[in-house]
Amino acid sequence: REQIEQYHEEIIALLEQRNATLVAHYYCDPLVQELAEKSGGFIGDSLEMARYGRDTDASTVLVAGVKFMGETAKVLSPEKQVLMPTLEATCSLDLGCPVEEFNLFCDAHPDRTVVVYANTSAAVKARADWVVTSSIALDVCDYLDRQGEKILWAPDQHLGGYVQKQTGADMLLWNGSCIVHEEFRAKGLREMKAMYPDAAVLVHPESPDAVVELADVVGSTTQLLNATETLPNPQFIVATDRGIFYKMQQRSPEKLFIEAPTGGQGAQCRSCAHCPWMAMNSLERIKNELLSPANEIFVAPELITRATIPLERMLNFSN
Ligand code: CIZ
Ligand code: SF4
């Protein structure tokens, strides 16, 4: 613990020297989230991170998350330096939606409004009419449906299927998925619910349909976090990345938070309830990056110009 405190203090001094701020995703290691808090930085979901990065006065934004979050920060603040602890931290949704294939898909369906999830590259966003996160996907697609628009949705098929079911919108879905959320299993969850009859079940909509159906609350990371405060239940079964337990427990120390069951077993399962890419954001890498920046995010100017349009729409819609 003493060693960690020392690490934290060294990093805070380095952040000050560089006029830098640390912004961390809820799925990062608790020690990194704690550092973000202590340093006066920020913890949030990808929508909140994007807004914070845009609005901060710091000249350098150090993004502890995955690559698309760094790219989004750069697109929204091209004048700022955006650093990441590593450039290897990616996302199965981003990887599963390469821009060349995506462009062909869009070309084949010119009559559809293109809505992409935030978990995509800047190049994919540059082709989109709208960018959404899980906190506003339902509202945006519902709005577009009411305007009579047909939607092309990418890349998460589970979230897309959920939105389609809830809104009745005409949606053509890309077939991507999140390697963390797709591991949650309905059978195990049903058994767990029977063991904890007083628990509320919280599910992120990147999870399979059968798991979503068992939920008391379906929502984005922030919406699930808020539910742990507003619901009276003493226990919660949580189907999302376990990184979020840090904030849940901090806000409600008296409540019990239980990981929803996954298909894989222990150490064999690299992605069970914790994103292996989020886990790459270690204190050591954060410190090294501030000592000698080697992982700066650059986005081509023409992509910035184009990707800004759907990203601004996202930020304005959710204001
Ligand atoms: O699954 C993710 O990576 C999420 C939920 C990102 C975000 O915060 O929107
Ligand atoms: Fe991507 Fe899933 Fe990791 Fe989020 S948790 S960054 S969606 S792989």
**Predicted pLDDT of residue 272:** 82
Shared domain check, 173 and 99? yes
Shared domain check, 247 and 229? yes
Nearest ligand 1 atom to the CA of 26 is: 8
Residue 318 clears pLDDT 80, i.e. is over it: no
Shared domain check, 194 and 209? yes
Residue 267 clears pLDDT 80, i.e. is over it: no
Residue range 46-76, pLDDT digits in tens:
989 999 999 999 999 999 999 999 999 999 9
- Residue 209's domain spans which residues? 181-268
User: What whole-number percentage of the chain has pLDDT above 70?
Assistant: 97
Instruction: State the total domains in the chain.
Output: 3
Shared domain check, 143 and 201? no
Nearest ligand 2 atom to the CA of 241 is: 5
Q: Is 220 in the pocket of ligand 2 (CB under 6 A)?
A: no
Nearest ligand 1 atom to the CA of 45 is: 8
- Nearest-CA neighbor of 165 among 153, 182, 179? 153
265 pLDDT band (50/70/90 cuts)?
low
**Predicted pLDDT of residue 91:** 98
164 pLDDT band (50/70/90 cuts)?
very high
Indicate the top mutation candidate among 124, 156, 181 to test ligand 2's pocket, ranked by most ligand atoms within 8 A of CB: 181
Q: Kindly state the average pLDDT of the residues 239-255.
A: 98
**In sequence order, what are the residues at sequence separation of 6 or more whose Cβ sits closer than 8 angstroms to the Cβ of residue 116?**
97, 124, 125, 127, 128, 130, 131, 132, 153, 154, 155, 310
Q: Is residue 307 part of a domain?
A: no
Name which residue sits closest to atom 7 of ligand 2, judged by CA: 178
**Predicted pLDDT of residue 127:** 98
Shared domain check, 109 and 69? no
Nearest ligand 1 atom to the CA of 134 is: 9
Shared domain check, 263 and 286? no
The per-residue pLDDT of the chain, averaged, comes to 96
**Predicted pLDDT of residue 1:** 87
Name which residue sits closest to atom 9 of ligand 1, judged by CA: 46
Q: Is residue 20 part of a domain?
A: yes
Q: Is 184 in the pocket of ligand 2 (CB under 6 A)?
A: no
**Predicted pLDDT of residue 270:** 66
Q: How far is the CA of 107 from the centre of ligand 2 (A)?
A: 27
Q: Is residue 112 part of a domain?
A: yes
Task: Return the structure tokens found at 231.
Answer: 């619901």
- Nearest-CA neighbor of 166 among 144, 139, 146? 139
268 pLDDT band (50/70/90 cuts)?
low
Residue range 32-50, pLDDT digits in tens:
999 999 999 999 999 899 9
262 pLDDT band (50/70/90 cuts)?
very high
Q: How far is the CA of 226 from the centre of ligand 1 (A)?
A: 15
Indicate the top mutation candidate among 72, 86, 270, 277 to test ligand 2's pocket, ranked by most ligand atoms within 8 A of CB: 277
**Predicted pLDDT of residue 47:** 86
Shared domain check, 83 and 64? yes
Query: What ipTM was reported for this prediction?
Result: 0.96
Residue range 286-315, pLDDT digits in tens:
999 999 999 999 999 999 999 999 999 999
Q: How far is the CA of 159 from the centre of ligand 2 (A)?
A: 13
Name which residue sits closest to atom 5 of ligand 1, judged by CA: 221
Bridge partners (DSSP) listed for residue 296? 83
CATH of the domain at 103: 3.40.50.10800
Residue range 167-219, pLDDT digits in tens:
999 999 999 999 999 999 999 999 999 999 999 999 999 999 999 999 999 99
Q: Is residue 127 part of a domain?
A: yes
Residue 2 clears pLDDT 60, i.e. is over it: yes
**Predicted pLDDT of residue 263:** 85
Name which residue sits closest to atom 3 of ligand 2, judged by CA: 275
319 pLDDT band (50/70/90 cuts)?
low
Pocket of ligand 1 (CB under 6 A): 45-46, 118-119, 133-134, 178, 206, 220-221
Q: How far is the CA of 195 from the centre of ligand 2 (A)?
A: 29
Q: Is residue 34 part of a domain?
A: yes
Shared domain check, 263 and 193? yes
DSSP assignments along the chain, one per residue: -HHHHHHHHHHHHHHHHTTEEEEEETTS-HHHHHHHHHTT-EEE-HHHHHHHHHH---SEEEEES-HHHHHHHHHH-TTSEEE-S-S----HHHHTS-HHHHHHHHHH-TTSEEEEESSS-HHHHHT-SEEE-TTTHHHHHHHHHHTT--EEEESBHHHHHHHHHHH---EEE--B--TTGGGB-HHHHHHHHHH-TTEEEEE-TTS-HHHHTT-SEE--HHHHHHHHHHS--SEEEEES-GGGHHHHHHH-TTSEEEEPPBSS-GGG-TTSSS-TTGGG--HHHHHHHHHS---B----HHHHHHHHHHHHHHHHHT-
Q: How far is the CA of 17 from the centre of ligand 1 (A)?
A: 30
111 pLDDT band (50/70/90 cuts)?
very high
